[in-house]
Structures are given as structure tokens and as C-alpha cells.
Structure 1
Amino acid sequence: MLEFSTCCFCVPLRIGCLILGYLHLVAASVLTIITILTLTAVGAVVANSDIQVNQSVVDALIAISVIVLLLLVILLPASIMFVVGLHKERRLYVKIYLIYYLIFTILYFIMFIVRCSTLPPDLSYTLTTLAEILLSVYFLLVIRSHWVAMDGSNFNSSQRV
């Protein structure tokens, strides 16, 4: 399988994986906060609105927000485990994150195929989603390369003279 010795062709694997881990952790935290605020705002608007609201739209928005929140409930601990696994050199934690991220990327690709086959073509959506999927695959390969490298080396040990 394809293995890299650096991340983004210039950063050591461990540093690149730490950057990816912290970026995923921040993104998961921000998305969780935004999703909770969205659910709260929808509930407040529906409860206090004098205007007639289309109930099916509200139900769809709530359902999507709850599904996203459930995915984030899995992503947040997985991202924390990934960062802890990198810092403490726990291969199992990194492997769990690799499996989660692989499943997420496959599901995202399936959703992309379904969307492209059911809705009219949209060039900007197609190009951005393909770029996201390719970046996810690259990040998976970088993380896997570091996971393989973790097998025989101890990154945190210091040589005392």
C-alpha cells in the first residue's frame, strides 16, 4: 500500500498527523456548537412565531440537525482519541480513528454518487466534493503511514547522555 514519509511533501508525518488531528477536533467542536444552536434557533422560531411555518420543512431541518449531531457525537470522541493516540503513541487509538475516518469517507462518497445520480448536475458541487473526497483519501493515507511508522519507533523517548 502507498506510504508517505512526509505530510504535504514538507512536514514530518507525526507533525502533519497532529495538525490534522487538532484541525478535526476543532472542526468537530465548532460543528457541534453550530448544530446545537441551529436546533435551539429552530425550536425558538417555531415556538414563538406568529407566522405560519411549513411543518414539513421544520421537521426535515430538525431531522437533519439531529442526524448531524449524532455523527458529531461519534466524531468528537474519535478526534480526541486520535490526538491522544498520537501524543501517547497508542496505535490502537490511531487505528480506531483510521477505521472511523475510512467509514466516514466511504459513506460520503456513496452520498456523493447518490446525489449526482438523482439531482441535476452541478459543476461547483461536483468539483468541491471530489476535492474533499480526494483530500480525505490523502489524509487517510498520511495517517495510515504514520500508524505503520508507529510500530517500531518511539517518538517521545529522549536520549539522555
Structure 2
Amino acid sequence: MTAPYDTISTTSQSRTDTLFTKCCCWIPLRQGCFILGYLNLVFNTYHTLALLTLTTYIGITTHGFDHFDSDRPREVSDQMPDIETIERPFLNQVGILLMVVLCANIAWLMVNVACLVGLHKKSPGPIRVYIGFATVRLLLSLAGFVYLVMTASASTQSIIIHSLDLGLAAYFILVYYIYAIHLEREIETREPEPAADVSFVYPVKIDKEKLVL
């Protein structure tokens, strides 16, 4: 009667090992974390540079988010102060929003770099930091998704795409979390280095020294 139970336990154990040692069911966990890390680094670098270019372009064309240059006819010269009072608050809001998003992208890029350093050094600390930032980012995306659905302004296709995006992001966070746990267990189970044997530490010229009784 013990053989079937042993077979079942062995099968469940192998499935658990496959689940918690593989990324996407076939890639080793460590290699999967590296692939995700470098893909995130490439995409985040591209987004940060694109956003920086857009912010610089808008800042230059609006004279430091002050006003637009437009060819206004002379007949509306008296209305220019009113138009500028409408432009200036709008441009200030656009400038603040772009700067906040740019700073968030730069911070996220630095976190990705720190995560890759932690992966190379097998240090779970930077990976934990990445998991924290990624979780906050996922929660904010989830809040935006719920707001998008509640306002009924999203199509079925966009809802499906956002759902898949959130699901993949949650799975990738789980992959990093599992690998961080594996690293912590490896550090805990690592055998300490043997201490130096002090019994063999003696002066080299001990035979030539005079012993005092």
C-alpha cells in the first residue's frame, strides 16, 4: 500500500520543483530572471530616452512651458493676454506631469540596474527592492485599470490586453520573489569557512630562541 502513496508524493514533489525552479515552465529560474531583467532594462531605457526627448522638445517649443508661439492676426492682439492666461496654467500642468513621469522612469531604471547587479552577485537584497517597486507599480496599474473599467470608456479588446499585461507582470514578480527566496536559502545553508587552526601558529625560528624556565 505504500508504493502508490510514494509514487503520488514523488510526482507532486517533482511538479513543485518544476514550478519553483523554472520560469515559463522550461527556462531555468536564474536564466529567466536575467532575461526578464535585461528586457526590462532595454524597454525602460527606450521609454526614458523617448520621454526625455519629448519633454525637452515641448520645453523648447513652449519657451520653458511658458507659452506657445502662434501666428495671431493683429485683430486679436487685444485678446492675447487672455489667451496667454489660459495657456500658461495648462502648460505648467503638462510640464509638471512630464517631469513627474520622467523622474519615475529614471527611478525605475535605476531599480532595474540594481536588480541586475543583485542577480550577477547573487544578492537577494536588490532583488527584494525591485520586487517592492514592481509591486507598487503593479498596484497603481491595477487601480488605473479598475478606473478605466468603472468609467466604461474602455473597449473589450483594451480590457483583455490590460488584463494580460497585469497577469504577466504579477507572474514575473512571483518569479523574482521565488528566486530571491532560493538565494536566501542558499546563503543560510552555506557552510561557514573553517577557522584557522591556532595550534600550528608558532614562530619560524622557535628552535633558536632561548626558553626561559
Indicate how the Cα distance of structure 1 residues 78 and 51 shifts in structure 2: closer, same or farther if over 3 A, else same.
Answer: farther
Alignment of 1:85-104 (within 5 A): 85-104=118-137
Distance 1:60 1:5 in 2: 47
TM-score by length of 1: 0.83
Q: 1:131 aligns with which of 161, 164, 177?
A: 164
Report what 1:13 is aligned to: 29
Give the number of the structure whose alpha-carbon radius of gyration is greater: 2
Structure scoring higher RCO (CA < 8 A, sep ≥ 6) equals 1
Report what 2:195 is aligned to: none
Does the 8 Å CA contact 1:86/1:94 hold for their aligned counterparts? yes
How far did 1:91 drift? Answer: 0.9
Distance 1:43 1:108 in 2: 28
- Give the aligned CA root-mean-square deviation in angstroms: 2.3
TM-score by length of 2: 0.64
How far did 1:130 drift? Answer: 0.8
Q: State the aligned residue count.
A: 153
Distance 2:155 2:90 in 1: 23
How far did 1:122 drift? Answer: 1.6
Indicate how the Cα distance of structure 1 residues 96 and 51 shifts in structure 2: closer, same or farther if over 3 A, else same.
Answer: farther
Alignment of 1:9-48 (within 5 A): 9-47=25-63
Gaps of 5+ in 2: 1-15, 73-82, 188-213
Identity between Structure 1 and Structure 2 (%): 23
Q: 2:108 aligns with which of 53, 75, 80?
A: 75
- Match of 2:32, as an amino acid? G
